[in-house]
Amino acid sequence: MSRRHAFVTGAGSGIGKAIALALAGSGHAVSLAGRRAAPLEAVRDEIHASGGKAFVHDGFDVTDAEAVERGVAAAIEAAGEIAVLVNCAGEAPSAPFEKTDLALWQRVLSINLTGVYLVTQAALASVRRAGNGRIVNVASTAGLTGYPYVSAYCASKHGVIGLTRALALELARTDVTVNAVCPGFTDTPLIDGALETISRKTGRSREEARASLARSNPQGRLVTPGEVADAVSWLVSQGAGAITGQAIAVAGGEIL
């Protein structure tokens, strides 16, 4: 299952970057998809420096169907059929529900949910042609429970898990598996918005806010991007062929 083509969205930072590095480390050729070239190029250079193979696909806006189609086609042309698809692009703005206007609501669902739909639609035929295909959607514990001040994010991630389960059943008699990983609070740039909101609303420092998020994890810490990447690496392996339609929490026991 190594030395195949993996396509990762949101690959320039955080969890997406960790997943791209892990897949490259296990021998996959990795297509790095995202909107901005500079962070993707930095990840590519890191992969190349360690002897791996990676390709940059910038200008990849998961909310733009035409950009998605172009990016997926370019990736297939550069590295062959996509055997592993990881949908990781996402956004997590924070606001009370009464201040969550329609523009914010639509933007979050467009990126986090419709983006997964568009990329998977564009790549699925290739994943099926590759054989033993793997699709992993990066959801969140917010797709398994609720959190205050992130109603749009929770709704979008619940939708990602629903899509994951439906597609897994549609493909159950093929050799393609579809799963979701659901990180808890993870030490990435995406968490900065949550820290800012907690600080603003409570008057606590960012360090105190970070500690409060860590306390939500029974292990008393934030999850690391590498731990999420390890879960993805297992799900795309040969040994996980019987795992499909699952939403696996990577959260230190927060969700049971």
Active site residues: 153
Give the CA angle between residues 100, 191, 42 to the nearest 5°.
120
Phi-psi region at 20: left, alpha or beta (left = phi > 0; alpha = psi -120 to 50): alpha
DSSP 242: T
Token couple for 127:
């994943």
- CB contact burial 69-90 (16+ within 10 A = b; e otherwise): eebbeebbeebebbbbbbbbbb
Distance CA 25, CA 109 (A): 32
3-state DSSP assignment of residue 160: helix
CA dist 27 and 4 (Å) reads 7
Nearest to 246 by CA among 180, 182, 184, 183: 180
Give every strand in the sheet of 84-87, ordered side by side.
53-57, 29-33, 5-9, 84-87, 134-138, 177-183, 247-250
Q: How far apart are CA 156 and CA 111, in angstroms?
A: 9
